[in-house]
Chain A
């Protein structure tokens, strides 16, 4: 069983079928086809507000292009120091932001706390053009440590942003896992809480390669589309991005896949606890961070279980990621299987 990441998973059957259905007829390129033209409406229905959808093939592209509409080349983006944009996307934000700087702050379980954010922004000393002034806050839902901001927590962050005239961006690579866990309307943790732009992940949760930039502020559309084009992210056969996204929304596939992944993570947490592991945080989404002994780690590896150490949480910390296709029954049976 491989828990090294959710991006090791293949495409799910519904999305493969949607792609395969686009294999006969010709269609207009660059987003002028029928499928692509349904995107804005489909996502507007999903979010309960008129949105613009700009799909790209990777999560990094969705984040850095999404942010490029929200920050000037001489501005700063406040994020958690464990944020994917800070740790795992090279210099992508500066590249698309024309130099914009990431301003990392701390917080429990990779979450930014509203009070701490307010203090951080209050304490920031602006030296005019000599300093980098924050213009935008970026949060990740679910976080990089598998925890989930509650509706209240995001609303509080949104209020701080409003008070300080900051834009609010959400990295939603695992947004589905958060929405599934919170069981709330997606609007509650996005535009109603003040989020301007969301990268709505699909790749990790059953798609082949597509994450959608969702603009709650329609004025950002032109800038975002221009940046997508000049960044080489506008697909000529755009219908293949759109077909994936439409299938992902249809019949709540995105939530069904995420619920499965989350349930698998809960089952895994239980199985590993039985075997002596201790969760680093209460797992809420599809990622599990645990502390365990070398002996247990070796035992799991010997049983063919793949996972990664997570040194930033300590030498005895490890990450396990579940996905839409994780075998839940086998996970439940792990304590017995391994002790045999």
Chain B
């Protein structure tokens, strides 16, 4: 069983069916087709607010293009030091923003804490053109360490942003997993809490390749569309991005897939605990971070499990990621296999 990442998974049947339907007729290019034209309305309904949707094929593109509209070339983006934009997206943020700097801070389970954020910003000394002033805060929901911000936590961060006149961006590569955990309306942890833009992930959770930039501030639309085009992220056959996204949100496929992944992660957590593993922090989404002995790690590898070491949490910590297609029965059977 492969728990190395959720991006090892193929696309889900609903997304394949949607792609297959688009295999016979011609359709206008660059978003002029009927399916692409439905995106804004579909996501506006999902979020309970008028939104603009700009789909791209990768999560990095969704994050970096969004941020390019929220921060100036000489500004700063406050994020957790574990944030994907800080650790795994090369110099993408600086590239797309024209030089903006990431200002990383600490916090438990890769979460920013609202009062720490307040202090971080209040303590900064502004030296005019010489320093980098924060203009935007970026949080990840679910976080890179598999934790989920509560509604109150996001709201509190939104308050701090408002107080300091900062934009708020959400990396939602695993937003579906967070929603499946919180069981709240998507509005509660986004625009109602002050989020200006979210990268709404689908690739990791059953799509082939599409993440949507969802803008709660429609005035950002033109800038984001220009940035998408100039960076080569506007697809000519745009309908194939759109059809993946519509299939993904139709009949709650996104939540259904995420619930499955979260449940698989919980089941796996129980199995690993029974073997002597210990969770580094509560697993709320589809990612588990587990402390265990080298012996147990070897035993699991011998049983055919694939997973990554996670040295930033310690030499004895490992990451396991479950996905929409993880076989839960096989996980429960692991208990017997492992003895």
Interchain CB contact under 8 A, A230 and B13: no
With contacts A57-B57, A240-B209 taken as known, whether A26 is within 8 angstroms of B8 at the C-beta atoms is yes
Per-residue CB proximity of B47-69 to A under 8 Å, as 1/0? 00000000011111111110000
Distance of A240 Cα from B16 Cα, bound (Å)? 12
- Is B203 in contact with A236, judged by CB distance below 8 angstroms? yes
Interface centre among A8, A16, A26, A59 (most CB of B within 10 A): A26
Query: Does A27 sit at the interface, judged by CB under 8 A?
Result: yes
Interchain CB contact (< 8 A) of A16 among B23, B209, B229, B231: B23
- Residue A233 lies at the interface, judged by CB distance under 8 Å to chain B: yes
Asked if A29 and B5 sit within 8 Å, CB to CB, the answer is yes
Q: A27-B8, A231-B232, A233-B232 are in contact. Are A10 and B226 (CB under 8 A)?
A: no
Cβ-based interface call for A316 (8 A):
no
Of chain B, the residue at the smallest CB distance from A204 is B236
Interface pair B231/A95, CB less than 8 Å apart: yes
Q: Which of B24-32, B103-111, B185-193 contacts A (4 or more CB under 8 A)?
A: B24-32
Which A18-76 residues sit within 8 Å CB-CB of chain B? 19-20, 22-30, 56-65
* Nearest CB in chain A to that of B27: its residue: A8
CB-CB under 8 A from B60, the residues of chain A are: 229, 232, 234
CA A30 – CA B234 in complex, angstroms? 21
* Interface pair B23/A11, CB less than 8 Å apart: yes
Whether the pair A230, B236 counts as a contact (CB closer than 8 A) is no
Which one of B88-96, B245-253, B309-317 contacts A?
B88-96
Inter-chain contact B10/A23, CB cutoff 8 Å: yes
Tell whether B81 is near chain A: CB-to-CB under 8 Å.
no
Question: Which residues of B have CB within 8 Å of A230?
Answer: 89-92, 95
Q: Does B293 contact A (CB under 8 A)?
A: no
* B240 near A11: Cβ-Cβ < 8 Å: yes
Tell me whether B28 and A226 are in contact (CB under 8 A).
Answer: no
**CB of B233 within 8 Å of the partner chain:** yes
Q: Measured between alpha carbons, how far is A236 from B210 in the docked complex, in Å?
A: 11
Give the residues in chain A near B20, CB-CB below 8 Å: 16, 20
Contacts of B58 in A (CB 8 A): 232-236
Please determine whether B22 and A11 come into contact, CB atoms closer than 8 angstroms.
Answer: yes
CB neighbours (8 Å) of B231 from chain A are 61, 92, 95-96, 231-232
Nearest A residue to B173 via CB reads: A236
Alpha-carbon gap, A13 to B20, bound state (A):
10
Classify chain A: how many residues form its interface, as a range. 35 or more
A315 to B: closest C-beta gap in Å: 24
Task: Scan B85-123; emit 1 where CB is below 8 A from any A CB, else 0.
Answer: 000011110011000000000000000000000000000
Residues of A within 8 A of B267 (CB): none
Is residue A9 within 8 Å, beta carbon to beta carbon, of the partner chain?
A: yes
Interface membership of A2, Cβ < 8 A? yes
Determine the distance from Cα of A56 to Cα of B234 in the docked complex, in whole angstroms: 12
Q: Does A90 contact B (CB under 8 A)?
A: yes
Contact partner of B59 (CB less than 8 A), chosen from A26, A59, A236, is A236
Taking the closest CB of chain B, its distance from the CB of A51, in whole angstroms, is 21
Among residues 85 to 144 in chain A, which have CB atoms less than 8 Å away from a CB atom of chain B?
89-92, 95-96
Chain A residues whose C-beta falls within 8 Å of the C-beta of B59 in the assembled complex: 236
Are A65 and B8 closer than 8 Å at their CB atoms? Answer: no
A206: min CB distance to chain B, Å: 11
Partner of A7, one of B22, B24, B237, B325: B237
CB 8 Å contact bits of B220-241 with A (1 = contact, 0 = none): 0000001001111111110010
* Nearest 6 CB-CB pairings of A with B: A61-B232, A232-B61, A7-B236, A236-B7, A60-B232, A232-B60
Q: List 26 A-B contacts (CB under 8 A).
A: A4-B28, A7-B237, A8-B28, A9-B26, A10-B24, A11-B240, A16-B19, A16-B23, A20-B20, A22-B10, A26-B9, A57-B209, A58-B232, A60-B232, A63-B232, A89-B230, A92-B230, A96-B232, A229-B60, A230-B90, A231-B61, A232-B60, A232-B64, A232-B96, A233-B58, A234-B58
